[in-house]
Amino acid sequence: MTAASVAQRPAGIRLTRDIRIAISAVVFVAIFYVLIGPQQVANALTLGAIYALIALGYTMVYGIIELINFAHGDVFMIGAFVSMQLLLKALLPIFGIEAPFAIHNLPLLVVILAITFVVTMLVMGVVGVTIERFAYRPLRNAPRVAPLITAIGVSFILQNIALILFGPASNNFPQLIDPNAHADLAGASIAYVNIFIVVLAVVLMVALQMFVSRTRLGRAMRSTAQDRDAAQLMGVDLNQTIAVTFFIGSALAGAGGVVQGLYLGSVRWDLGFNAGLKAFTAAVLGGIGNTTGAALGGFVIGFIEVAAASKGYSRWSEAIVFTVLIGVLVFRPAGLLGQQLGERA
């Protein structure tokens, strides 16, 4: 298998590969910096961070059970609603904060954000594990399209739960970080929200990378992704590993939901579908099954979309994103960083 050969590459080659990725990333950002200006680069990074957070869940789940989890975008949307309810119904009243919700007391802001993120991520993790347990696990040995259909079914269910509970209109999300507070950075004034989101996303991604590469469970995940049967023979608990994967993926999507709410200040029931589709595109673009690739893909999609919008083609931005996707797949079928998928129908 190609997967094994990559894992066994000598450290030197892996290092130069990392350096190559870093250099191309810097060049990529530099080109866009010239093209669309620093303000838009900040927006693109923020949007890309959100896509990257969602894309990680897609790519992990695909890597481990080869399922395109169409419900994942809606898990992201539910995460936004859960954190909204948490803030409006519990945290903000407890701390006695009233509209317009922007908190200027830094320690208080940190505490509230920390609680929001932790609780939302835990709740969404449990939601993800529940979905896996009831909708995907019974179908693990069924024809491959069967779990795809249940994923679509779950997506419908989640969307309509949100629609019934919160109505078809946009719901206001408390923007805890003052969207008007700016920092002067690299010749542009960049909102603190943007900085916070990008930093948080990078921290979460690094944490994920450490988890996958350093811990016992992470090793179990990697081995299951490589060869499920062999992993089982080596004593890996398959159900547990897959549940952990869903937990982490959904928790990251939940974090993405909170971030989306903080950034845009509104959430809607149908938000998950498009975001999910683009995040999925990001995962494929980066090479599906590859977490670094998914993060990279998320940022690429963010840049493409913001660049299209800033040049006046916002109506075409999705078409451009998908055209790029098709182009990449035709000329580089395994994505930017991916390995060629094996032969399977």
Partner 1 sequence: MTAPATPAEARRGGAVRDRVLDFSHRHRSISIIGGMTLVTLLLPVLAQAPPFNAFQPFNAWLDGFSNAGTYVLLALGLNIVVGLAGLLDLGYAAFFAFGAYAYAYGASPFSGNDFPFLPMLVVGAVVAATFGVLLGAPTLRLRGDYLAIVTLGFGEIVPIVFLNAEQYTNGTNGIGGVYPPEIAGHEFNILNPWPFYLLMAVILTLTLIIIYRLQDSRLGRAWMAIREDELAAAASGINTVTTKLLAFALGASTAGLAGVYNASKLTVVSPDQFLFQVSFTVLAMIVLGGMGNIWGVAVGAFIIYTLQATFLKQLNVFFAAINFPAFSLGPITIDLKSVNFTEYQFLLYGIALVLMMLLRPEGLFPSARRRRELHTAEEGAEPSPTGLDASGELA
- β-pairing, 182-185 vs 266-267, is unpaired
Closer residue to partner 1, CB minimum distance, 183 or 319: 319
Query: Which residues are near partner 1 by CB under 8 A?
Result: 62, 66, 68, 134-135, 137-143, 145-150, 152-157, 159-161, 163-164, 228-229, 232, 236-240, 273, 277, 280-281, 284, 288, 315-316, 318-319, 322-323, 325-326, 329-330, 333, 341, 343-345
Closer residue to partner 1, CB minimum distance, 261 or 289: 289
Query: In angstroms, what is the minimal distance from the CB of 224 to partner 1?
Result: 10
Query: In angstroms, what is the minimal distance from the CB of 297 to partner 1?
Result: 12
Provide the greatest CA pair distance for the chain.
59
Half-sphere exposure of 312 (CA within 13 A, CB side): 0
Q: How would you label 120-141 residue by residue, b for 16+ Cβ within 10 Å and e otherwise?
A: bbebbbebbbebbeebbbebee
Closer residue to partner 1, CB minimum distance, 30 or 163: 163
Closer residue to partner 1, CB minimum distance, 16 or 274: 274
The residue count for the chain: 345
Query: In angstroms, what is the minimal distance from the CB of 206 to partner 1?
Result: 28
Q: Quote the DSSP letter at residue 298.
A: H
**Distance (Å, rounded) from C-alpha 163 to C-alpha 169?**
9
Query: In angstroms, what is the minimal distance from the CB of 260 to partner 1?
Result: 20
Query: In angstroms, what is the minimal distance from the CB of 88 to partner 1?
Result: 23
Closer residue to partner 1, CB minimum distance, 109 or 148: 148
**Distance (Å, rounded) from C-alpha 276 to C-alpha 270?**
10
- 111's tokens: 């505490």
Half-sphere exposure of 345 (CA within 13 A, CB side): 1
